[in-house]
Amino acid sequence: MAKLFRTIKCPSEDLSLTNCVLVNDGDFNGVKHIQVTPSGHSHFVFTVLAHPTVPPGKLAFNAAQRKWAGIVLNSDVKVQQFQFNAKTQCIGSVVLEIEPLQKKSSTPPQSLDSDKLATEFLMTFGGHSLSVEQPVVFGYDSKLYSLLVKEVEVLDFTYAKGQQVSGKPKLANIGLLTPNSGVIFEKAENSNLNLTGKAKGKSSYQSIINPDWDFNKMGIGGLDKEFTAIFRRAFASRVFPPEIVEQLGMKHVRGILLFGPPGTGKTLMARQIGKMLNAREPKIVNGPQILDKYVGESEANIRKLFAEAEEEEKRCGVNSGLHIIIFDEIDAICKSRGSVAGNTAVHDTVVNQLLAKLDGVEQLNNILVIGMTNRKDMIDEALLRPGRLEVQMEIGLPDEFGRLQILTIHTETMKKHEKLDADVDLSELATLTKNFSGAEIEGLVRAAQSTAMNRLIKASSTVEVDPDAMEKLRIRRTDFMHALQHDVKPAFGSSKEELETFLSNGIINWGEPVKHVLEDGELIVGQTRSSDRTPLVTMLLEGPPASGKTALAAKISKLSDFPFVKLCSPENMIGYHEAAKCQAIKKIFDDAYKSPLSCIVIDDIERLLDYVPIGPRFSNLVLQALLVLLKKAPPPGRKLLVIGTTSRKDVLNDFEMLNVFSTVVHVSNISSSEHLLTVLEHSEVFSKDEVDVIKKKTQGRRLFIGIKKLLVLIEMARQTDIGERASKFICILEDEGALEYA
């Protein structure tokens, strides 16, 4: 319903710079915009500002507004409330013509940074109505400028689909300026201004986030899913205009925690998040830099990081730009309160200060804190609740597709300059680099490059480079293979070298007992790989000493071809006290949980438990740790196979450990002449006649010997003369007590 109001002059110059129509609060309580009809059918939309100096029934206009709308002082105008549609009338970009308000021909040319102008304009006039041909008086850097709205492009958010939120732009006569609007400046004709920066001339609209961001251009591979999840949780709300967010009663996410193994791209991702946002330059801080030796300085360092955002929030409110603070190694300053020894409790007060800034009494809505750590367990749990670092994203080891992306990124320059040989297959390298982190793949490429460059260096008394190196240099497949074999090993990869030592003599399939164990192993591996009901599968190989249990466990784990295969052996923990041994075992399991498919071989369990029959003595601390870990299911989406070996099944039964394993398989010693002869034929040490002699002397006699011991005795017999080998071998078997008369 339109009402008549009398027009008056703006009370002061400062109020005229607001470019708002001043009203009495009693006339327009809670109204933000009005439509004024001075005469005829012309309508003009203004943003209103209540001020106590304006009498009821009066509207105060500045000179620019009166000139634009043809308003005569002390005349009556028709006025009614105007409501913007937040879905279809928010400005995507606006083109402004700028010139000094006071034009002086003798004034030297003036240079203005259009980016800073755009930032200040958004903070000053965010939430204002802008119409084509509307004049605006703008105060910047203690000077006044005259702006003219040349073009308005609004976004139609009714076209938004799914997660890829984006507005469809279209030209309009009027729109609502939002903090995410693009502002483009053009200097007026005959103006002596020089505009620098990106916000000059016509360009396409850019929201606070570009949903079609190219991950490859960011230099990050294998993290597409993580980026999509972060976008959905942390940034989608910032794409929409503040009015829509207010209608939902929604608060923006203020904190993100990126955690995972070293080298997986946490720091790189945080930096790229800062670049992909239309925000202030990110502040990147290493956790230890916050700490200070003086009392209170550490807390002051936290406050300084947020000071600029606080000042802008008070000055501009919802129109404030986004301030990003990145904490690298955040676990250094945010340890669980009470966990750090000492009287000063500096860590506790630093955590308290950060909690207050993130979600204290005076909440900031214009900040985004990104923390990174590979020790999430050390961080105070109060920081991880919603409202603080509520988006917690695990940045894990890349899968095969992710590794291919990373390899493509790091070899792109070589391809461009034709330095990558045609025999290099990136898909093959992606398959071979199981459990490599992004940093390790980058190191692999560097190592291959070094190997290729080394071919063109002549190292004699002096180091000389081939003069044709520029043309000859090519990185070949052999360079990558050399780097894989000798230079770069994954920190979370398999213990191939250790397992290969147990398979140096291979697996001799001397009979049904060995075949039975391998078949059971194959069945267990298949169950781990394909079954969704049993993410944790455990298998115990038990049998007499030297029966080949460790070699069979190594063979099964190798045949599984799981990305993560780790050996937990007592020989790697010599000298460890009980607590250190528990931590070492737990770390192996924690590392295994980070891979989708993992296998752990726990060798010689009774030795790990420090068991001795005299006493008896054992480590109850290690026993309890193993019992817990062997029952603990891996995280969702992860599968774990544990293969244990023991020579004391009776002891594990007394420890109530036998029932923890889902399958117990017996590994037999060689106990028949036929099995013995199979091993002898495989060893190729004895001639056919000697094998016949051994067969005659072992038939009908009791035989009991482990394959490991047998191979050692065969090697001893190899050292004797050819004619005496058979008799010497029989004597050795009898001396060892492995061959007796029935």
683: left (phi over 0), alpha (psi -120 to 50) or beta: alpha
Cα 412 from Cα 424, distance rounded (Å)? 13
Alpha-helical segments (H) within 94-137: 114-125
Q: Looking at 103, 198, 587, 631, which residue is catalytic? A: 631
The residue whose two tokens read 């900040």 is 367
Which of 574-583's residues contact partners 24+ apart within 8 Å by CB, and which partners? Answer: 578/619, 578/621, 578/622, 579/621, 581/608, 581/619, 581/621, 581/622, 582/621, 582/622, 582/625
Q: Which residues contact 79 (CB under 8 A, 6 or more apart)?
A: 2, 3, 4, 5, 34, 35, 36, 37, 59
HSE on the CB side for 217, CA within 13 Å?
7
Residue 708 annotated in active site:
yes
Which tokens go with 185?
A: 């400046």
Which of 520, 708, 720, 728 is an active site residue? 708
- Asked about 604 being catalytic, the answer comes back as yes
Provide the 8-state DSSP code for 231: I
Of 305, 298, 260, which Cα lies nearest the Cα of 283?
Answer: 305
Q: How far apart are CA 729 and CA 713, in angstroms?
A: 7
Give me the catalytic one of 549, 555, 594, 709: 549
Token duo for residue 258: 């990126």
Those residues whose C-beta lies under 8 Å from the C-beta of residue 183, and which sit 6 or more positions away, are: 93, 94, 96, 117, 118, 121, 122, 199
Q: How far apart are CA 67 and CA 266, in angstroms?
A: 56
Residues of the chain by 3-state class (helix, strand, coil), percent to 5 = 40, 25, 35
C-alpha closest to that of 710 among 509, 498, 516, 548: 548
In the set 331, 380, 604, 698, the catalytic residue is: 604
**Helix, strand or coil, per DSSP, at residue 278:** coil
Beta partners for 258? 372, 393
256 to each of 127, 259, 302, how far by Cα in Å?
Answer: 28, 10, 17
Q: How far apart are CA 495 and CA 601, in angstroms?
A: 10
| Residue 587 φ/ψ, nearest 5 degrees | -65, -40
Q: Say which of 550, 645, 646, 698 is annotated catalytic.
A: 550
- Pick from 97, 324, 117: which is nearest to 209 by CA? 324
- Under 8 Å between Cβ of 494 and 435: yes
Q: Has 631 been annotated as catalytic?
A: yes
Q: In the structure encoding, which two tokens stand for residue 472, read together?
A: 């000859």
Query: Exactly one of 200, 555, 603, 645 is catalytic; which is it?
Result: 603
Helices first, then strands: H and E counts in the chain: 26, 29
Phi then psi for residue 631, to 5 deg, are: -100, -20
21 CB neighbour count, 10 Å cutoff:
26
**Where in the sequence numbering do the catalytic residues fall?**
549-550, 603-604, 631, 708
